[in-house]
Amino acid sequence: MKTKILYIEDELNLGKIVCDTLRLQGFEVVWETDGALALAHFNNFSPDLCVLDVMLPNIDGYVLCQQIKAQFPSLPIIFLTAKVDTVDLVKGFECGGSDYMRKPFSIEELIVRINNLILIHKGAQKSELQQDQHEELRIGKYKYLPKFYELLAPSGTIKLSNREGEVLQLMVSKGSQVIERKELLLSIWGDDSFFNSRNLDVYIKKLRNYFSEDSNIEIQTLRGKGYLFIVR
C-alpha cells in the first residue's frame, strides 16, 4: 500500500517538482497551495504524513500544524521553510512538527526523512496496539477487553470472535481518521479477495449491532473509501 503524503506548498514550481518526484518514488500525494484549505483534504484523504511549508497564504504553517495536531495528534509533520533562525526551528517543534528542513533542500534527503518518520510512526502504532492487547479500551458507554475479546455493553457482556476483535481494534486505533477498506482486508486477512470482502461486510454489520446501545457511536461507511469510527 502506498504511503500517502499531504503536501502544502504555495510555490508552484517547487511544488510541481516535489510532487512529481515523490510520485515517481511510489508515494501517493495530494498537493494543496492554500493553508486554509488543507484540513478539508482529511475528509477524503487520510495522509500518513504531512509536508508543510511555513509561509502560506491565508494561514501560516505553524497555526495549520496546531490545527492538524489537535485532530490528528500522532500524524508526523515535516516543515519546509526559508527561515533560518533558531527561534523559527524551535517554534516549529513546539507547535507539533516532527522534523524541519530549511530551503533550499535536497529532495533525496526529504524522501529519506519521510521514510524514517513513517517507520518510527508505524513502530509506535504497533507498540500501542500490542500494549492495548492487555488493557481496557473505553468506547463511549462500552469497555473492550482485548485480551479476552469481550465487549462490556450497558446490558451485559458480548463475546467477540477473534476477527471481530481485530476489526474493532484496527478501527479504534485510527482514532478520527478514515481507515481504508483495503487496509482492513490486507491487515487482517492478508488479501482483499471478494470472499474476504464479504466477510468484512458481515463483521461491520455485527459491530454496528453491538454498539446500538450508544447513539453517540457510529461506524460510518464512506463509499469507495472505507470507514470512520466515530465516538461523539
Q: 148 and 83, same structural domain? A: no
8, 115: one domain: yes
The CATH number of whichever domain residue 80 belongs to comes to 3.40.50.2300
pLDDT at 189 > cutoff 70: yes
β partners of residue 6: 30, 50
Q: Are residues 111 and 150 in the same domain?
A: no
**164: CATH:** 1.10.10.10
Each residue of 150-171: pLDDT tens digit?
Answer: 999 999 999 988 888 889 988 8
- Do 114 and 158 belong together in one domain? no
For residues 89 and 101, give the distance between their C-alpha atoms in angstroms, rounded to a whole number.
9
Q: Measure the CA–CA gap between 117 and 114, rounded to whole angstroms.
A: 5
Count the domains in the chain: 2
Burial of 215 (0-12, 13-18, 19+ CB in 10 A): exposed
Considering 92, 125, 158, which residue would you say is the last residue of a domain? Answer: 125
Residues 11 and 112 in one domain: yes
Both 159 and 120 in one domain: the answer is no
225 plus 142 within the same structural domain? yes
Mean pLDDT score of the chain: 86
Strand 156-159, strand 179-180: pairing: unpaired
Sole residue written with cell 493553508: 35
Q: Is the pTM of this model over 0.85?
A: no
d(CA 79, CA 96): 10
Question: Of the candidates 125, 159, 192, which is a domain's last residue?
Answer: 125
Which residues form the domain of 67? 4-125
